[in-house]
Amino acid sequence: MENSIRNTVLTWYANICRLLLAVVFVFSGFVKANDPTGFQYKLHDYATAFGLTAWVSESLLLAAAIGMAALEFALGIYLLLGFNRRFASGMSVLLMLFMTPLTLYLALENPVSDCGCFGDAVVLTNWQTFWKNVVLLLAAISVFCLRGRIVRWISRHSEWMVSVYMLLYICIFSYYTLKHLPVFDFRPYHIGADIRAGMEMPEGALPPLYETIFVMERDGEQKEFGIEDYPDESWTLVERKTILKRAGYEPPIHDFSLMSMQDGEDLTERVLADSSYTFLLVAYDLNKADDGYTDLVNEVYDYCRAHQYQFLALTASGEDEVEQWLDRTGGEYLFCGVDETTLKTVVRSNPGMLLLKEGVVVNKWANADIPDEYQLVASLDELPLAKVQVHSVMSKIFTCLLWFLVPLSLILMLDRIWNFSGRKNKHDYINPLKNKKVEMRKNIVAGNWKMNKTLQEGIALAKELNEALAADKPNCDVVICTPFIHLASVTPLVDSAVIGVGAENCADKVSGAYTGEVSAEMVASTGAQYVILGHSERRAYYGETVEILEEKVKLALANNLKPIFCIGAVLEEREANKQNEVVAAQLASVFSLSAEDFGKIVLAYEPVWAIGTGKTATPEQAQEIHAYIRSLVAEKYGQEVADNTSILYGGSCKPSNAKELFANPDVDGGLIGGAALKVADFKGIIDAFK
């Protein structure tokens, strides 16, 4: 009881942590890919704060920004869909182990004011970021430790396609936003934004108050002064510090001011109040600006002159750079000096272009998208490009989701069609990424004849089954486990590619004076490939203990027999809610095996109260305990081995209930007693996989 509650709680906890991490990573990877330039600027801030600017180039920072977006997005998708669990959870721990102390340092020292984890979509203070990272670190460690409990939402052979497609998606999305501006513009200069409204202070709000402190020195003595008590010349200035005296309201736009570089005139109001249109060419640094599209810029300038619209260029570069730019590009427009950070915020492209009317951002273009003469064919009032077109965030999210889900579903569907068309079967699926065969666990229907049928009857039954399956190929592996005396006769009778043959027991001794016993080697010498071990009837009537069974399993494996190892609780144990403990204890016989040997066995869960009684476990009961058994295997041998272990259900399985039982994700077939004695019934159960 306690065990099963603990088990359920741990599984829930692991999956809640996994979903939390997945959502955060997908979101933060996506918002970074939405604005790689923005994250590149942020990385530049970090490099400056840590004195690394000499070591890193702009292109390296951009590559790091895109790489980080792709890594986070990939980890998020792995965790969301529950595959590559070891890699995803391990990488999450490493990432958070790096980020958490880093953000603690940022919170304490404040060298960069906003961490940039979520781009401009969600801006957190450094302390908020630190605590967020503490939570994520704990979640990542929990997911890593409990990764075996993470529920998988896609099949194993779809993994590589999802991996390739998600990386393509996030890289193409990054490239798209880099070339055409972010799809989601979270900054105060987005299309439709009223710049003047963004500059307003709400009534009664106070601006933040800063104070400048001067650290001065005289005769080896250092002292701090304010602006009011600034000392005489006998003191020399050591350092100037600006400290926030009172936090206040800072409007989203607080540094948009346009100073003409020709005569120093402030053109801000003239531009913002203009009832006609103004084009703004924005290039924060002319030396770094791409001059590949300057013909387009000049065309827009000519168009403005012809239609009497204002055209201004904004830069933070100096006069020399402006002159060189105009010489190089043949531009004739007026430049205004504007703060660099402001310009980087206005438009991510360098250069980029804005169209304003009455202070409202009507349209915005990246370098490559600046409208050309074929678009600028009439006055702006008549052109759609001069109408504010704001697409809602929801519709953009929907479009991005569709671009992710529709092609991916199509690829997966095509793969399914390819698979089911018989060109590949699920047992030998090749993952091209890892160039390795993906071992899929097998669906198996195994018959257990028990102490039934004379030799002649057994031969007739095997022949009949062989013919039925030759005529109608099964969609799963089929095994018949017969009494010892049938083995040598039945094995050569059946098509070994379709039907495997096995014994119902074998001795726990190698050979010698054990009257009445049959060794694993003797079973194997008949051509049989399987052996049932640990059946509840053998445990109950012949006193087979965990230790005896451990010996039998080892001998079977040593003789290349595949054990079908049975576990299950009796009615009293189930009623006392002890079935989980019972199966966990029974598994001890096989949990001493190496992972490689364990990979060779098949498990069969058989609730003893259901064997031969006509009472079947409900599909839900079967799924619950099968999933539990698989989680025990995962804990012991790792998820991959657990995923590859076939777990059969046994106990009054019939054609009428087989389909429903086998439909459960963790039920991989059945061990059939009574119904295996009639071909029609056994075949009916085999056909549940059709």
The smaller minimum CB distance to ligand PGA, of residues 361 and 653, is found at 653
The smaller minimum CB distance to ligand PGA, of residues 178 and 671, is found at 671
| SS3 assignment for 572-625 | HHHHCCCHHHHHHHHCHHHHCCCHHHHCCCEEEECCHHHCCCCCCCCHHHHHHH
Q: Which amino acid is at 407?
A: P
Residue 157 bears catalytic tag: no
CB of 663 to ligand PGA, least distance (A): 18
Alpha helices (runs of H) in 310-392, residue ranges in sequence order: 319-329, 340-346
The smaller minimum CB distance to ligand PGA, of residues 120 and 537, is found at 537
CB of 495 to ligand PGA, least distance (A): 24
Residue showing tokens 């992972």: 595
The smaller minimum CB distance to ligand PGA, of residues 120 and 606, is found at 606
Order of strands, sheet of 221-225, starting from the edge strand that comes earlier in the sequence:
221-225, 209-218, 236-246
Catalytic residue (choose from 72, 537, 606, 624): 606
Pairing label, strands 499-503, 436-438:
unpaired
The smaller minimum CB distance to ligand PGA, of residues 119 and 673, is found at 673
CB of 163 to ligand PGA, least distance (A): 40
Q: Which of 392, 397, 366 is nearest to 177 (CA)?
A: 366
Residue 635 bears catalytic tag: no
Give the Cβ contact number of residue 282 at 10 Å: 25
CA distance 522 to 511: 9
Catalytic residue (choose from 44, 157, 486, 535): 535
The smaller minimum CB distance to ligand PGA, of residues 451 and 513, is found at 451
Binding site for ligand PGA (CB under 6 A): 448, 606, 611-612, 650-653, 671-675
CA distance 30 to 23: 10
CB of 654 to ligand PGA, least distance (A): 8
What is the DSSP code string of 652-681? S--HHHHHHHHTSTT--EEEESGGGGSHHH
The smaller minimum CB distance to ligand PGA, of residues 351 and 673, is found at 673
Cite the beta strand spans of 427-517 per DSSP E.
Answer: 429-431, 436-438, 444-448, 477-482, 499-503
Residue 209 to residues 114, 202, 242, 405, 472: CA-CA distances in angstroms? Answer: 20, 16, 10, 50, 85
CB of 461 to ligand PGA, least distance (A): 15
CA distance 102 to 99: 5
CA distance 352 to 315: 11
Q: Map residue 409 onto helix, strand or coil.
A: helix
Active site residues: 535, 606
